[in-house]
Structure 1
Amino acid sequence: MQRLLSVLVLFSGAVYAIEPYTCRNGAFPGYEGIKPARIVAGEGEKVHAREDSVGCPEDDRCLRKGYLINGDKVLVTPAVDGWVCTYYFGKKSDYTGWIPESRIQMLPYSGHPEIKRWTGRWRPISIYRGNKAADFINITRTVRNRLQVDGYTYWDGGKNSYGETVIHYGGVSASGKPKGNNLTVKEGDEESACTVRLRLINNLLVVNDNSQCGGMNVRFQSIYQKTHR
């Protein structure tokens, strides 16, 4: 199935349009105002997402083949000019794109989840960067409702010009105390600290970092689900 993403506005006098390339799968975890929602559509109706390139999402050429149906659960960012950047994931793939605001119904979520909702082993559900089987985040409860976050991630750069496999690694091990459904942890000194932000939205963990948590191109920048593996 599919997924969806975020929004910015470009003002030009009295005319404004959605800035291109602002509803992207890889960038979605870093967007502000992410909330849960569902798709609203008629019986058998297909709601096609739209590209985020120049002139989109208004132009009909922006229509994608992929579509969502009534009741599909998504994550969304705040609407801009009648469009919502939406993220969807299914069993085999994930997807981002623009959806008309009229097709989105917001869903409730806890702004102050219980500590036990955070704890456990989490793995990224996004597959856009290839095999993520080794990536994980472990969250455990310590004292006074603080949470210990231990995570591992990597970037697979394929083969270089010499035929050598290029893999860069990264990780974080730090603790913090949630503020509502947000948790920020830092490892290292202030100037070069690895900073990871985690947002718990129902059963999903939205994670992004400051690009200081490992080698080149290594990021904690995914949507995670709790797992027993």
Structure 2
Amino acid sequence: MKAYLLGCRPARRSRRLILLAVLVAAAGGSGVRAEENECRRSPALSAGAALAVGRIVGPGRTAFVKDGLARAGCPDPSPACRERAYLVAGDSVLLGERRGAFLCAAYRGQKDDAGRVGWIPAEAVAVEAPTPVTREDWLGTWTRVEARIRVKLGDKPGTLTVAGDATWGAGDPDRVRRGGIHIGEFAGTVALKGDTVSFAVGEAGALPVEKGGAYDCKVWLRRIGAWLVVDDNLACGGANVTFRGTYRRQP
């Protein structure tokens, strides 16, 4: 009887649910879930993400655009979806997936350790032709916030030795004081295959990533443009430690 007094009789409930479904679809962009519009981390190399290098060509400021987690219905051209952060003509970006009229882009300036990942209008960026990657393009020390990867020539011809160390919580003074910093590391010597390298770290050293065990540290790396892009399986260190991200080579 209480349900009846509130107007929830079967016929009305059906009409109400249908109306609610229509409203949700309209607000969510043809039923696309908010998390499917997410763009806030580097591309997942482990899932075969396609990458390209682009350069901003739009006039004035090209603002980043919110994703579906920040605001329902985004990315969208409306002012409500526009971020304060922006790029300008000439800025180089790493491009990932496309969602309608928007591209997921990662940007890091020469002095910007954290960088920025977000949607940008596809019409504001020009995709650059890929360039060959040489052995020397890999070498050096690459960094991002709380992570460093060193690449040098291996002892055997055609190989690279790759070693990384990372932390989680080192930017939190309270964690530093309490000793609550988590650490991670990996190292391996692998055959160089153009612009990509991947391996797992087993008990006997590096092995092909597909032969790694379920709990072995697995790392995927790609050299593209000015960046070293890295992905891992979250098993290369303590809780929350990851090497995922875009890295810049130190001078």
Short-chain TM bin: 0.7 to 0.9
Deviation at 1:205, TM superposition (A): 0.2
User: What is the TM-score when the length of structure 1 is the normalising length?
Assistant: 0.79
Matched, 1:172 2:186: yes
CA contact under 8 A between 1:170 and 1:215: conserved in structure 2?
Answer: yes
Query: Residues 187-206 of structure 1 correspond to what in structure 2 (within 5 A)?
Result: 187-189=201-203, 190-191=212-213, 192-206=215-229
| Residue-pair matches, total | 202
Match of 1:152 in 2: 165
Deviation at 1:197, TM superposition (A): 0.6
For the residues of structure 2 that align with 1:102 and 1:16, how far apart are their CA atoms?
25
Q: In structure 2, do the counterparts of structure 1 residues 216 and 16 end up closer, same or farther at CA, with 3 Å as the change threshold?
A: same
Match of 2:234 in 1: 211
**Aligned residue identity for 2:150:** N
CA contact under 8 A between 1:148 and 1:175: conserved in structure 2?
Answer: yes
1:170 aligned counterpart, secondary structure: strand
Deviation at 1:16, TM superposition (A): 5.7
CA contact under 8 A between 1:178 and 1:184: conserved in structure 2?
Answer: no
Matched, 1:136 2:148: yes
For the residues of structure 1 that align with 2:226 and 2:89, how far apart are their CA atoms?
20
1:184 corresponds to which of 190, 198, 203: 198
**Aligned residue identity for 1:47:** T
Match of 1:80 in 2: 99
**Aligned residue identity for 1:145:** G
Larger radius of gyration: 2
1:22 corresponds to which of 11, 14, 38: 38
Deviation at 1:19, TM superposition (A): 4.2
CA contact under 8 A between 1:168 and 1:216: conserved in structure 2?
Answer: yes
For the residues of structure 1 that align with 2:137 and 2:33, how far apart are their CA atoms?
36
For the residues of structure 2 that align with 1:17 and 1:211, how far apart are their CA atoms?
28
CA contact under 8 A between 2:58 and 2:123: conserved in structure 1?
Answer: no
**Aligned residue identity for 1:37:** G
Greater per-residue helix proportion: 2
**Aligned residue identity for 2:142:** W
Matched, 1:50 2:69: no
1:115 corresponds to which of 128, 135, 150: 135
Unaligned runs of 5+ in 2: 1-24, 204-211
Deviation larger for 210-219 or 57-66? 57-66
**Aligned residue identity for 1:34:** L
**RCO higher in structure (CA 8 A, sep ≥6):** 1
Aligned-residue sequence identity (percent) comes to 28
Q: In structure 2, do the counterparts of structure 1 residues 17 and 101 end up closer, same or farther at CA, with 3 Å as the change threshold?
A: farther
